[in-house]
C-alpha cells in the first residue's frame, strides 16, 4: 500500500493556547446571539475553541517544509507559524464570528495547505478520490451534541455532517447547520405583527436574515393567538384603596392594574401532628423575596388558630425570614403546631399523592422594579380552574446525579408542571403546528415554489420552509418550558429578582417553594423573550453559513455517514452526566411539536438510553460492568471513526477533564485512563494533548493555579498497521531523548511565541509522551506483559518533572540551593546548620547566597526573601553575583509592581538569563502546585503567562537603548 504523504498540522506542533483559552472563557459571559441561547444543551464546546482546533488541524505546520528539505530554515518556519497564530488570535474573537475578512484569511490558509497536500500526493493511487485540489474534504462529528463543532467547521468552509444518537441533539444540529443553508437569501413571507410598518427601503435578506424575520413574525402571531385562548388564566391585580391602607408603599399604584410576573407557591403536606392533620402546612426554604437594599420584601406567615395566611412585608426583614419553615433537627416544621416534619414523612406524603401547593406571594411589574403582593382567592381559584387536555408521559430517571425529585412523588414528566403550565405549554405546542400551516400557505402566496416535500424528505420549497419556521418556534416552546415548571425557583439576586430556570445544575432536583411565570408579561421566561434570543442567534451566529450541512440520528459505534472526512468530536465522558435522562424533559415536548415534521426521529416514546456511552453502574449492574460497557462501546465508536477519517488529517477528540481527576499534579484518573485506552485500542496514536479552558471570566494567568481545563483536546493519527513493539527500557530512553525538545517547543523556546502557562503544561506535555507510547503496538514490561496507559502516564509525568528540575540543567549553585531550600521550607525560616549543610552540598555557602541578596541570615536562622522584598532599584548590569533565582524573582516583582513594560526593560538588561528564568518559573510552579501553595504558584504562572508581552517589551527597550547610543 502506498503511504499517504501527510504534512504535520499546526495542532501537532504548537498553538497560541492562552489566546484561545481567554476567548473561550470570555464566551461564557456572552448571551445575545450565542448558540447556547438557541436551545439548552449541556457541556457545549466554546465556538472559539472549536474554530481554533479545526483550523489548526487543517493547516500545515510550516516546519514540515524544512523536514522535506524545501530549504526553509527553522527561523523562517517560526515566522510563518506566528502568522498562522495571528490568524487564530483574530479567529477566536467573538466579534469576528461573522467577520468575512478574518474568516476568509482562515479559509485561504486552509485551502493553501490542502492544495499543498494534494500536490504532495498527486501520484498516489487514490489521488482522484482523496486529493481533489478543487474541493475540500467534508467534516464529520459523530457525537455532535450541542453542535458547536460542526457549526464552526461549516463556518470555515467545510461541508458539515453531524450525527448523534440523541434526537434532541440531532434537532439542535439541524437548526444550526442544516436548515439555515437551505433557505439562505429567502425573503420573509409572514405578515408583520400588528402595529408595525413595512420599511420603505428594500431590506437586505442575505443569509438567514429572512428566516430569522419570519421566526420573529410568526412568533408574535403565536403569542397573540395564545393570549386570545388562555389570557384569562393570567389575570392582573388591581391596587385598591384597601390594599394601600395596609401597604402605604403601594400608594403610587393605587387604581392601576399591574401585570403579574410570577406567582410564588409553597408545596404543602398534611401536618404530622394528629391534632392538626387537616392542615396543609407549607414547606418553604426561604420567605425572603427581595434583599435589594432599600427594596427588601419578605413573606410574613400569620397563624390564626389552626389556620394561617400569608402577608407581604417591606423593610428590613427579620433574620428568621431566610429560613422559611426549615427546622434545625428535621427538614421542616409545621407552621401551625411547630411539629417537626421529616424527609421520610414528606416522601410518604408525596408518593401517596397528598402533596399540594399554596399561593404564597404574587410578583408584579412595577415602575421601578418588582412589586410584591399577598395572595388572594381570585388568583388561586383561577390557577385551580385550569384543565389541561394533555400532559407528557414517561418516567423521570430515579438515579439522576445531582438531585432528584422522584422520591417525593414527582415520577413522570407531566408531574413537573402545574395544570396552568400544562395548558399554556400545550397551547403553544398546538400553535407551532398552526404556525407551520400558516407559513406554508403564506410562502406559496408569496411565490415560493413548492415540491410538496418536507424537511425530512430533503424539501426546499414552501412546505419545507414552513416546517423550518416551525422548528425554531418549537425551540422557543422548549425554552419556555425550562422557565415554566414547578422546579423553577424565585431568584433573589442583587441586581434583579427573576424566575430561575429548572436546569441550574445537571439534575431534576426537588424544589419546595417554586415560581410560576406569567407568559404574557415582559420578563425573561416568556415566549417573546425566548424568541428574541433565537432570532438573534439566527441573525448573528447562523446568518452566513460557510457551506452546506446535514444532521442525522445514528449510533457512533455503527454509523457510516461519509468516508474520508475531517473529524473533530466531543464524545461522552465515562461516568459523567447521562444526557439521555435529562433530555427527555425536552423530548416529550419536541415529540408533540415535531412528530409530523420528523416522524422517524420522534418514533420512540423517549430518548434512546441503552446505547448511551456513559459508565453508569445503575444502568449496567455494577461499576465493573459499566466500565466494560464504556470501554467496549467507546473503542468501537472510535475505531469506526478512525476507519472513516481522512488519512491526511489528524482527528481531534475532546475529553472533559475535571479538577478531581488530578491529584498533586498528576493527570491520572480512572476516566482519563479508560478514555486513552479506548482511543489507543481503536487504532490511534495520540500525538498531542491541549488543555482548553472555558470556566474563567478573566485572564488565565490570574485565576488560581489548580483549576484544570474543562477539556483536553487529543490529537490523534491512525497507527501504522505494521507498528512494532518496544521494551520498557527503550520507551524510557525515548522519553529522555524526545521529551525535552517537545517541552521546549511548548514553553516557547527562543521564538517569542506565547508559551503554554505552567498550569496547562502537565496536560499538554502528555501529548508528546503518549505519542511515543501509542505509536507502538505495545510497550512491553520486563516480564513480557503489556505496559498499561496508567503506568505510561506515570513515566511521562516523571519525564516532565525531570526536565523542569533545575538539577537537570546548567543552573548556578546559588539557585540550586534556593530551590532545595524552598522545597523544604517555602518562605519560612530554617536552621542555619541545615542551610550550611545544603549550601556545601550544592557547591556554595550561606554567606555567598546572602551576598547575592536572596536570603536573610541571622540569629541562627535562614529565610528566602519573597519577591516583594526585593529592591526596586536593582540593575543586573551592576550586580556582580546574579543567580537565576534572583533574576526570576526580580522579574516577578517588576511585573506585579510596575507591569509588563518594566519587566521587559529588566529582561533587556539580562537577555542571557531569559531561558533559565523561564525554565525555573515552570519548575517552581509545579513545585508549588504539588505542595498546594496556590498563592505562591500564581506568581510563577503569571510570569509565564505574560512572557510573550515581556519579551516584546524587552525588544522595544533594546531598540530604544540602541537608538540612544547611536544618537550619542
> What DSSP line would sit under 474-491, residue for residue?
HHHHHHHHHTSSTT--EE
Please tell me the distance from the alpha carbon of residue 100 to that of residue 358, in angstroms, as a whole number.
55
Q: List pLDDT tens digits, range 346-385.
A: 999 999 999 999 999 999 999 888 999 999 999 999 999 9
The pLDDT value given to residue 474:
98
Q: How far apart are the first and last CA of the chain?
A: 68
The pLDDT value given to residue 949:
83
Which among 395, 388, 421 has a CA at the least distance from the CA of 584? 395
Please state the rounded mean pLDDT for residues 501-527: 89
What band does 918 get if pLDDT is binned at 50, 70 and 90? confident
Quick check: 898 pLDDT over 80?
yes
The proportion of the chain whose per-residue pLDDT surpasses 90, expressed as a percent, equals 62
- DSSP assignment of 428-485 equals HHHHHHHHHHHHHHHHHHTT----S--GGGT--SHHHHHHHHHHHHHHHHHHHHHTSS
Exposed (0-12), middle (13-18) or buried (19+): which is 697, by Cβ within 10 Å?
exposed
Which among 712, 569, 719 has a CA at the least distance from the CA of 647? 719
Quick check: 747 pLDDT over 80?
no
Rg (the chain; Cα; Å): 32
Quick check: 662 pLDDT over 70?
no
Residues 709-746 as b or e (16 or more Cβ within 10 Å = b): bbbbbbbbbbbeeeeeebebeebeebbeeebeebbbbb
More confident residue, 773 or 631: 773
Report which DSSP code applies to 602: T
What band does 73 get if pLDDT is binned at 50, 70 and 90? confident
Report which DSSP code applies to 501: P
Lowest mean pLDDT among 270-279, 506-515, 595-604: 506-515
Q: List pLDDT tens digits, range 408-426.
A: 999 999 999 999 999 999 9
CB 716 within 8 A of CB 773: no
Report which DSSP code applies to 781: -
Residue 963 main-chain phi, psi, to 5 deg = -65, -40
Average pLDDT, the chain: 87
Query: pTM of this prediction?
Result: 0.84
CB 333 within 8 A of CB 303: no
Please state the rounded mean pLDDT for residues 210-232: 97
- DSSP assignment of 83-146 equals HHHHHHHHHT-GGGTT-HHHHHHHHHHHHHHHHHHHHHTTTSTTHHHH--TTSPPPEEETT-TT
What band does 698 get if pLDDT is binned at 50, 70 and 90? very low
Report which listed range, 570-584, 586-600, 706-720, 918-932, is most confident. 586-600
Q: List pLDDT tens digits, range 30-65.
A: 888 999 999 999 878 899 999 999 999 999 998 876
CB 777 within 8 A of CB 726: no
What band does 748 get if pLDDT is binned at 50, 70 and 90? low
Quick check: 822 pLDDT over 50?
yes
Lowest mean pLDDT among 129-133, 373-377, 611-615, 627-631: 611-615
For residue 272, give the 3-state DSSP assignment: coil
The pLDDT value given to residue 242:
94
Quick check: 761 pLDDT over 60?
yes
Residues 760-784 as b or e (16 or more Cβ within 10 Å = b): bbbbbbbbbbbbbbbbbeebbeeee
Which among 895, 939, 933, 897 has a CA at the least distance from the CA of 921? 939
CB 158 within 8 A of CB 138: yes
Which among 118, 140, 133 has a CA at the least distance from the CA of 6? 118
More confident residue, 667 or 400: 400
The number of residues in the chain equals 968
Please state the rounded mean pLDDT for residues 119-139: 92
- DSSP assignment of 384-410 equals HH---S-----BPPTT-TT-BSGGGT-
Quick check: 707 pLDDT over 50?
no
CB 463 within 8 A of CB 428: no
Q: What is the dihedral of CA 425, 430, 436, 438, to 10 degrees?
A: -120
More confident residue, 453 or 16: 453
Report which listed range, 227-236, 323-332, 625-634, is most confident. 227-236
Please state the rounded mean pLDDT for residues 900-923: 91
CA distances from 682 to 532, 569, 626, 655, 770 (A): 44, 15, 19, 16, 15
What band does 636 get if pLDDT is binned at 50, 70 and 90? confident
The pLDDT value given to residue 860:
93
Q: Give strand ranges (E) for 645-788.
A: 651-655, 684-692, 711-718, 725-727, 778-780
Residue 272 main-chain phi, psi, to 5 deg = -75, -10
What counts of helices (H) and strands (E) characterise the chain?
31, 26
Indicate left, alpha or beta for 313 from its phi (over 0: left) and psi (-120 to 50: alpha): beta
The pLDDT value given to residue 615:
52
Report which DSSP code applies to 508: B
What band does 960 get if pLDDT is binned at 50, 70 and 90? low
Please state the rounded mean pLDDT for residues 60-86: 77
What band does 67 get if pLDDT is binned at 50, 70 and 90? low
Please state the rounded mean pLDDT for residues 526-539: 94
Please tell me the distance from the alpha carbon of residue 260 to that of residue 15, in angstroms, as a whole number.
52
Quick check: 153 pLDDT over 60?
yes
For residue 320, give the 3-state DSSP assignment: helix
Quick check: 659 pLDDT over 50?
no
Q: List pLDDT tens digits, range 664-676.
A: 444 456 667 878 8
Maximum CA extent, the chain? 101
For residue 683, give the 3-state DSSP assignment: coil
Would you tell me how many other CB atoms lie within 10 Å of the CB of residue 610? 8
CA distances from 837 to 822, 831, 853, 911 (A): 15, 10, 19, 33
What band does 573 get if pLDDT is binned at 50, 70 and 90? low
Would you tell me how many other CB atoms lie within 10 Å of the CB of residue 221? 20
More confident residue, 188 or 709: 188
Please state the rounded mean pLDDT for residues 844-873: 94
Report which listed range, 361-370, 464-473, 832-841, is most confident. 464-473
Amino acid at each position: 500500500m502506498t503511504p499517504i504523504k501527510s504534512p504535520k498540522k499546526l495542532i501537532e506542533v504548537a498553538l497560541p493556547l492562552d489566546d484561545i483559552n481567554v476567548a473561550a472563557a470570555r464566551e461564557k459571559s456572552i448571551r445575545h446571539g450565542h448558540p447556547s441561547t438557541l436551545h439548552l444543551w449541556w457541556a457545549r464546546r466554546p465556538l472559539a475553541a472549536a474554530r481554533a482546533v479545526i483550523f489548526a488541524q487543517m493547516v500545515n505546520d510550516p516546519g514540515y517544509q524544512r523536514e522535506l528539505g524545501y530549504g526553509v530554515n527553522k527561523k523562517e518556519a517560526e515566522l510563518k507559524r506566528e502568522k498562522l497564530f495571528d490568524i487564530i488570535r483574530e479567529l477566536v474573537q467573538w466579534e469576528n464570528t461573522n467577520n468575512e475578512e478574518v474568516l476568509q484569511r482562515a479559509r485561504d490558509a486552509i485551502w493553501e495547505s490542502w492544495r499543498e497536500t494534494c500536490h504532495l500526493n498527486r501520484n498516489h493511487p487514490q489521488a482522484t478520490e482523496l486529493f481533489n485540489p478543487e474541493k475540500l474534504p467534508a467534516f464529520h462529528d459523530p457525537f455532535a451534541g450541542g453542535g458547536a463543532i460542526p457549526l464552526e467547521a461549516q463556518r470555515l468552509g467545510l461541508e458539515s455532517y453531524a450525527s448523534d444518537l440523541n434526537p434532541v441533539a440531532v434537532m439542535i444540529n439541524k437548526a444550526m447547520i442544516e436548515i439555515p443553508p437551505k433557505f439562505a437569501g429567502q425573503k420573509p413571507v409572514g405578515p408583520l405583527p400588528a402595529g408595525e410598518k413595512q420599511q420603505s427601503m428594500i431590506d437586505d435578506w442575505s443569509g438567514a436574515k429572512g428566516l430569522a424575520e419570519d421566526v420573529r413574525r410568526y412568533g408574535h402571531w403565536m403569542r397573540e393567538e395564545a393570549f386570545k385562548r388562555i389570557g384569562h388564566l393570567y389575570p392582573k391585580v388591581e391596587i385598591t384603596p384597601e390594599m394601600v391602607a395596609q401597604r402605604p408603599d403601594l400608594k403610587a399604584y393605587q387604581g392601576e392594574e399591574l401585570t403579574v410576573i410570577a406567582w410564588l407557591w409553597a408545596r404543602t403536606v398534611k401536618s404530622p401532628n394528629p391534632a392538626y392533620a387537616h392542615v396543609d402546612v407549607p414547606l418553604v426554604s426561604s420567605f425572603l423575596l427581595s434583599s435589594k437594599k432599600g427594596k427588601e420584601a419578605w413573606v410574613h406567615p400569620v397563624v390564626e388558630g389552626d389556620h394561617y395566611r400569608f402577608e407581604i412585608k417591606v423593610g428590613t426583614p427579620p433574620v428568621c425570614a431566610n429560613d422559611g419553615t426549615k427546622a434545625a433537627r428535621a427538614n421542616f416544621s409545621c407552621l401551625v403546631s411547630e411539629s417537626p416534619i421529616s424527609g421520610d414523612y414528606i416522601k410518604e406524603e408525596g408518593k401517596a399523592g397528598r402533596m399540594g401547593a399554596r399561593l404564597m406571594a404574587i410578583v408584579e411589574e412595577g415602575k421601578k422594579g418588582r412589586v410584591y403582593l399577598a395572595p388572594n382567592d381570585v388568583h388561586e381559584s383561577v390557577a385551580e380552574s385550569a384543565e389541561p387536555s394533555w400532559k407528557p408521559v414517561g418516567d423521570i430517571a430515579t438515579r439522576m446525579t445531582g438531585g432528584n425529585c422522584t422520591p417525593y412523588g414527582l415520577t413522570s414528566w407531566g408531574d413537573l408542571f402545574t395544570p396552568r403550565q400544562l395548558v399554556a405549554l400545550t397551547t403553544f405546542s398546538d400553535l407551532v403546528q398552526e404556525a407551520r400551516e400558516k407559513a406554508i400557505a403564506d410562502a406559496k402566496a408569496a411565490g415560493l415554489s413548492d415540491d410538496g416535500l418536507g424537511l425530512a424528505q430533503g424539501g426546499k420549497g414552501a412546505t419545507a420552509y414552513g416546517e423550518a419556521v416551525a422548528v425554531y418556534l418549537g425551540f422557543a416552546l422548549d425554552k419556555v418550558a425550562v422557565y415554566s415548571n414547578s422546579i423553577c425557583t424565585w431568584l433573589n439576586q442583587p441586581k434583579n429578582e427573576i424566575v430561575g430556570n429548572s436546569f441550574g445544575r445537571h439534575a431534576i432536583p426537588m424544589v419546595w417553594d417554586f415560581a410560576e411565570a406569567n407568559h404574557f408579561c415582559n420578563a425573561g421566561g416568556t415566549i417573546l423573550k425566548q424568541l428574541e434570543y433565537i432570532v438573534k442567534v439566527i441573525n448573528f451566529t447562523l446568518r452566513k453559513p460557510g457551506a452546506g450541512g446535514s444532521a442525522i440520528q445514528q449510533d457512533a459505534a455503527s454509523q457510516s455517514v461519509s468516508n474520508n472526512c475531517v473529524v473533530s468530536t466531543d464524545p461522552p465522558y465515562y461516568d459523567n452526566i447521562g444526557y439521555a435522562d435529562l433530555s427527555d424533559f425536552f423530548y416529550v415536548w419536541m415529540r408533540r411539536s415535531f412528530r409530523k415534521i420528523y416522524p422517524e426521529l420522534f418514533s420512540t416514546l423517549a430518548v434512546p438510553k441503552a446505547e448511551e456511552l456513559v459508565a453508569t453502574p445503575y444502568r449496567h449492574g455494577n461499576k465493573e460492568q459499566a466500565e466494560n460497557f464504556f470501554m467496549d462501546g467507546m473503542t468501537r465508536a472510535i475505531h469506526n471513526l478512525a476507519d472513516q477519517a481522512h488519512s491526511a488529517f489528524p482527528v481531534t477528540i475532546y475529553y472533559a477533564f475535571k479538577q478531581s481527576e488530578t491529584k498533586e499534579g498528576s493527570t491520572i484518573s480512572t476516566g482519563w485512563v479508560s478514555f486513552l485506552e479506548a482511543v489507543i485500542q481503536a487504532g490511534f496514536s495520540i500525538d498531542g494533548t491541549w488543555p482548553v479552558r472555558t470556566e474563567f471570566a478573566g485572564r488565565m494567568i490570574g485565576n488560581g493555579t489548580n483549576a484544570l481545563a474543562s477539556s483536553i483536546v487529543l490529537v490523534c493519527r491512525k497507527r501504522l498497521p505494521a507498528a512494532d513493539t518496544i521494551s520498557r527500557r527503550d520507551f524510557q530512553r525515548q522519553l529522555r531523548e524526545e521529551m525535552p525538545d517537545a517541552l521546549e517547543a511548548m514553553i516557547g523556546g527562543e521564538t517569542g511565541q506565547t508559551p503554554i502557562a505552567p498550569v496547562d503544561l502537565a496536560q499538554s506535555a502528555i501529548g508528546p509522551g503518549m505519542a511515543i507510547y501509542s505509536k507502538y503496538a505495545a510497550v512491553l514490561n520486563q516480564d513480557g506483559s503489556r505496559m498499561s496507559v496508567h503506568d505510561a502516564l506515570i513515566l511521562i509525568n516523571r519525564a516532565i518533572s525531570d526536565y523542569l528540575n533545575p538539577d537537570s540543567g546548567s543552573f548556578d549553585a546559588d539557585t540550586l540551593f534556593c530551590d532545595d531550600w524552598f522545597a523544604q521550607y517555602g518562605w519560612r525560616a530554617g536552621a542555619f546548620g541545615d542551610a550550611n549543610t545544603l549550601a556545601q552540598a550544592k557547591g556554595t555557602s550561606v554567606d555567598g547566597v546572602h551576598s547575592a541578596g536572596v536570603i536573610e541570615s541571622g540569629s541562627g536562622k535562614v529565610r528566602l526573601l519573597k519577591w516583594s522584598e526585593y529592591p526596586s532599584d536593582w540593575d543586573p548590569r551592576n550586580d556582580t553575583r546574579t543567580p537565576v533565582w534572583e533574576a526570576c524573582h526580580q522579574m516577578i516583582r517588576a511585573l506585579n509592581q510596575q507591569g509588563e513594560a518594566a519587566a521587559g526593560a529588566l529582561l533587556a538588561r539580562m537577555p542571557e538569563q531569559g531561558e533559565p528564568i523561564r525554565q525555573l518559573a515552570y519548575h517552581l510552579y509545579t513545585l508549588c502546585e504539588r505542595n498546594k501553595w496556590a498563592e505562591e504558584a500564581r506568581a510563577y504562572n503569571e510570569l509565564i503567562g505574560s512572557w510573550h508581552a515581556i519579551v516584546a517589551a524587552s525588544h522595544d527597550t533594546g531598540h530604544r537603548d540602541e537608538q540612544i547610543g547611536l544618537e550619542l
